[in-house]
Amino acid sequence: MIEILRGITELRAWRKALPHEASVGLVPTMGALHAGHISLVSLSRTQCDVTIASIFVNPLQFGPNEDLAKYPRPLENDLALLEAAGADAVFLPSVEELYPAGASTYVVEESVSLPLCGAFRPGHFRGVATIVLKLFNLVQPTRAFFGQKDAQQCAVIERMVRDLDVPVEIVRGAIIREADGLAMSSRNVYLSPEERRLAPLIRHSILAAVDAYAAGERNAATLVAKGRPLLEGDPAFTVQYWEVRDPQSLEALATIGERGALIAVAAYLGKTRLIDNQLL
């Protein structure tokens, strides 16, 4: 049976009771679990003796006009999925416990978190970095597993871990997709049937640039010109960014060299904000 840990005291007791030499894998999530989350649990199970997932819809990473209130919270189903995936424990803290009244300390990464989503979601990565460091302090995992789906989130967390000497190894899991190429996301449930039909255009626009890269194109602006107009050409989408950047620093790139590149895209489809990316 999966162990359900509802508070910090319970979590710390669970952690303390583990054998000293056991490696512990942490999979932080906001719930509404799908095969993308479960792939991270499976990855953790291959690399760690013990796997714990967390489910916490972190208010600190939502903007005032974002979907915090309507974010899906199918807890029973999430617990069944984690149990079936073989997670050993799940941490389900409350907002009040993680952010006691008067909490006034935050983690602010000031480089990798600025462009792309950082430019459109002010405060988002401050919320992410703060909650992730708190989870690291509470769980003290050997490894923590994050999805490449949120490539900038991975980059911010890797930078935080390096800069603050956090004793954890960050592991990235591959993007899990629907059969038609749409990256799985808890937010896909917001899409109307018509929007859901259109949504794979994000992936198709990226693949147009991937094809050009495979054919030898190394000029970033040319790759953007292959993909971005495909998405912008469909009036159902409002593109926030469609960019080719350095895969680690996320700085702008003119030419793609040995370090490769990240194609990163964010677009609204109706009222739903979708992101996707591809490493080159």
149 and 181 Cβ atoms separated by less than 8 Å: no
Q: Of 226 and 276, which has the nearer Cβ to ligand AMP?
A: 276
Given 3-state DSSP classes, what are the helix, strand and coil percentages for the chain, each rounded to the nearest 5?
40, 20, 40
3-class secondary structure, 175: coil
User: In the bound complex, what is the minimum distance in angstroms from residue 107's beta carbon to ligand AMP?
Assistant: 17
Q: Of 29 and 205, which has the nearer Cβ to ligand AMP?
A: 29
Q: Of 186 and 278, which has the nearer Cβ to ligand AMP?
A: 186
User: In the bound complex, what is the minimum distance in angstroms from residue 186's beta carbon to ligand AMP?
Assistant: 5
User: In the bound complex, what is the minimum distance in angstroms from residue 74's beta carbon to ligand AMP?
Assistant: 12
Residues facing residue 27 across a β-bridge: 53
State the DSSP string of 112-161: TTSSTHHHHSTTHHHHHHHHHHHHHHHH--SEEEEEGGGHHHHHHHHHHH
User: In the bound complex, what is the minimum distance in angstroms from residue 65's beta carbon to ligand AMP?
Assistant: 19
Q: Of 29 and 272, which has the nearer Cβ to ligand AMP?
A: 29
Give the closest residue to 244 by CA, choosing from 269, 270, 267, 225. Answer: 225
Taking CB positions, which residue lies at the least distance from ligand AMP? 147
Identify whether 124 is a catalytic site residue.
no
Helix count (H) and strand count (E) of the chain? 10, 9
Give the closest residue to 39 by CA, choosing from 148, 151, 144, 174. Answer: 174
3-class secondary structure, 35: helix
User: In the bound complex, what is the minimum distance in angstroms from residue 119's beta carbon to ligand AMP?
Assistant: 19
Q: Of 54 and 240, which has the nearer Cβ to ligand AMP?
A: 54
Query: Which position has the token pair 């109307």?
Result: 192
At 263, which helix (H) or strand (E)?
Answer: strand 262-269
Q: Of 226 and 277, which has the nearer Cβ to ligand AMP?
A: 277
- Please tell me which residue in 20, 34, 37, 204 is annotated as part of the active site: 37
User: In the bound complex, what is the minimum distance in angstroms from residue 189's beta carbon to ligand AMP?
Assistant: 12
57 and 68 Cβ atoms separated by less than 8 Å: yes
3-class secondary structure, 7: coil
140 and 15 Cβ atoms separated by less than 8 Å: yes
Binding site for ligand AMP (CB under 6 A): 29-30, 36-37, 39-40, 146-147, 149-150, 173, 175-176, 183-186
Q: Which residues are catalytic?
A: 37
